[in-house]
Amino acid sequence: MNHDFSALKSACETCTGCPLHETRNHVVFGVGNPDAELLFIGEAPGENEDLQGEPFVGRAGQLLDLYLNGIGLDRKENIYIANILKCRPPKNRDPKPEETKACLPWLRELVKIMRPKIIVCVGRISAQVIISPEFRVTKEHGVFFERNGTLLMGTFHPAALLRDPRRKGDAFEDFLKLQDKIKELGIRI
């Protein structure tokens, strides 16, 4: 494993950069292969994630895995999954702007180390932080935006799909578009 990645992860695991460190059980740095060319970014750990120290576990995580596996991706092998916030906001409330600001440097460093070819923003909050504050997931899901040589795409959060299953087909189409892009760019998976 990349030395810079290990050092970054270890440093993050003792972070006290915002008040969320006081209530967390685990810092949820991420899961997957840090040498991958695909980076998925969610919002923040929920209750199960905080308890287990891994992003996207529970029912929402299972749905994400279903979509990933459907296009030949595996969370442990050929992608990396992280969140905007590494520590759980109490009662799963939205991240506060000051928490996002305090935590983003960890993600920026991860991106510098990984240099992913594609970043997939999982859910509105991630897309609004990474792609644009005006991002509308219902209108712009599945659209690729180019920034500094990296493609950015936003899709629905699996927890939102569990609440509104009518969007599941749209979400899987986003993954199929991702699969096409992976082939087009010759991305290593």
Binding site for ligand SF4 (CB under 6 A): 12, 15-18, 20-21, 27, 85-87, 99, 102-103
Minimum distance from CB of 35 to ligand SF4 (Å)? Answer: 23
Q: Give whichever of 25 and 179 is closer to ligand SF4, judged by the CB atom.
A: 25
Q: Give whichever of 22 and 146 is closer to ligand SF4, judged by the CB atom.
A: 22
**DSSP state letters, 111-156:** HHHH--SEEEEESHHHHHHHT-TT--HHHHTT-EEEETTEEEEEE-
Q: Give whichever of 84 and 118 is closer to ligand SF4, judged by the CB atom.
A: 84
**Strand 80-83, strand 144-147: pairing:** unpaired
Question: Letter for the amino acid at 171?
Answer: A
| Rg, Å, the chain Cα set | 15
Minimum distance from CB of 176 to ligand SF4 (Å)? Answer: 33
